[in-house]
Amino acid sequence: MKQTRSWSFTRNQNFWGWILIMPLTLGLIIWVFFPMGLSFVTSLTTWDMLSKPVFVGMKNYISLFTGDQLFLQSVKVTVYYTLLSVPLQLIAAFGVSMILNSNVRGIGIFRTIFYLPSLLPGVVVAVIWLWLYNNHYGLLNAMLNAIGLDKVEWISSPDLVIPSLVIMSVWSIGNIVVIFLAGLQGIPKTLLEAVVIDGGNAWHSFRNVILPLMSPLILYNLIIGIIKSLQLFTEPYIMTGGGPMNSSLTFMLLIYNNAFKYGKMGIANAMAWVLFVLTLLLSLVVMKTSSKWTYSEGDTK
Phi, psi (degrees; rounded to nearest 5) at 206: -65, -45
pLDDT-derived band at 201, boundaries 50, 70, 90? confident
Q: Report the chain's terminal Cα–Cα distance, integer Å.
A: 55
Q: How far apart are CA 200 and CA 204, in angstroms?
A: 6
Tens of pLDDT along 16-73?
778 888 888 888 888 888 888 999 999 999 988 888 989 998 999 999 998 889 999 9
Q: pLDDT confidence of 243, banded at 50, 70, 90? A: confident
State the Cα–Cα distance between residues 190 and 168, nearest whole angstrom: 38
For the segment 264-285, the average pLDDT, to the nearest whole number, is 94
Structural domain spans, the chain: 68-292
User: Pseudo-torsion of CA 231, 237, 243, 246, nearest 10°?
Assistant: 40
Average pLDDT over residues 127-131: 92
Alpha helices (runs of H) in the chain, residue ranges in sequence order: 2-28, 34-42, 59-66, 69-100, 107-115, 122-132, 139-146, 161-171, 174-185, 189-197, 202-205, 211-230, 234-239, 251-256, 265-289
Q: What is the average per-residue pLDDT within 171-196?
A: 89
Mean pLDDT over each residue of the chain, to the nearest integer: 88
Q: What is the pLDDT of residue 300?
A: 52
- Length of the chain in terms of residues written: 301
Average pLDDT over every residue of 255-259? 94
Tell me the CA distances in angstroms from 87 to 47, 108, 154, 212, 291, one per residue in order: 39, 26, 21, 17, 19
**pLDDT at residue 79, as a whole number:** 95
Mean pLDDT over 132-158 rounds to 89
Whether the pLDDT of residue 274 is over 90: the answer is yes
Can you tell me the mean pLDDT for 203-208?
A: 88
Helix (H, G, I), strand (E, B) or coil at 5: helix
7 falls in which pLDDT band (50, 70, 90)?
low
In the CATH scheme, what is the code of domain 68-292?
1.10.3720.10
